[in-house]
């Protein structure tokens, strides 16, 4: 099951930094699997920009050109096959949307203050405690705007990202253990 997490940042650089940290956790440590990670920023002039790590139109065009070229070889016209394949791949990539829809991200981007950013992350799988430990060194630079995670995981994420006090465990007697701030 995938979870959507939207983090808010006071500047664009911090959003890119956290996206890079999450990507490194995926590639190097394999503690999470990202489906999508898009930075949405609002310029000082109020324009909303989506910073997607992969341009699906270009990927579709390249894939289509290669497939079309092979089909064209079989039909003795590789150039025509590559052209048709690239065009169909580009159209396919243009209308593909992995994870979060562009319209949703743009709508949220319209609510951002100029100069700020949000990071939309769609996580397919994670070892949440390792992700939270990895994010704690950046505590306080962002805030959780929205998440589809269960409440206990959301609290842990808020603690890691926002630097808030952790939620104390409730012992079997039913009273909450005291926390120190």
- What is the tens place of the pLDDT at every residue in 8-19? 999 999 999 999
Higher per-residue confidence, 5 vs 129: 5
Q: What is the pTM of this model?
A: 0.66
Q: Are 39 and 16 in contact (CB under 8 A)?
A: yes
Which pLDDT belongs to residue 104? 77
What does the pLDDT look like over 34-58, one tens digit per residue?
888 899 999 988 899 988 875 443 4
> For residue 134, is pLDDT > 70?
yes
């Amino acid at each position: 099951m995938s979870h959507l997490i939207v983090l808010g940042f006071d500047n664009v650089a911090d959003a890119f930094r956290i996206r890079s940290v999450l990507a490194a956790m995926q590639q190097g440590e394999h503690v999470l699997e990202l489906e999508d990670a898009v930075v949405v920023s609002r310029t000082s002039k109020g324009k909303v920009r989506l910073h997607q790590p992969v341009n699906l139109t270009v990927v579709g065009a390249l894939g289509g050109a290669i497939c079309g070229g092979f089909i064209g070889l079989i039909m003795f016209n590789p150039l025509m096959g590559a052209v048709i394949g690239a065009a169909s791949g580009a159209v396919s990539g243009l209308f593909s949307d992995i994870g979060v829809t562009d319209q949703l991200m743009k709508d949220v981007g319209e609510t951002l203050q100029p100069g700020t950013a949000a990071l939309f992350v769609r996580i397919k799988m994670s070892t949440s405690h390792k992700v939270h430990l990895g994010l704690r060194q950046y505590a306080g630079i962002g805030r959780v705007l929205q998440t589809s995670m269960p409440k206990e995981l959301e609290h842990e994420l808020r603690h890691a990202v926002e630097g808030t006090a952790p939620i104390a465990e409730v012992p079997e007697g039913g009273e909450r253990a005291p926390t120190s701030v």
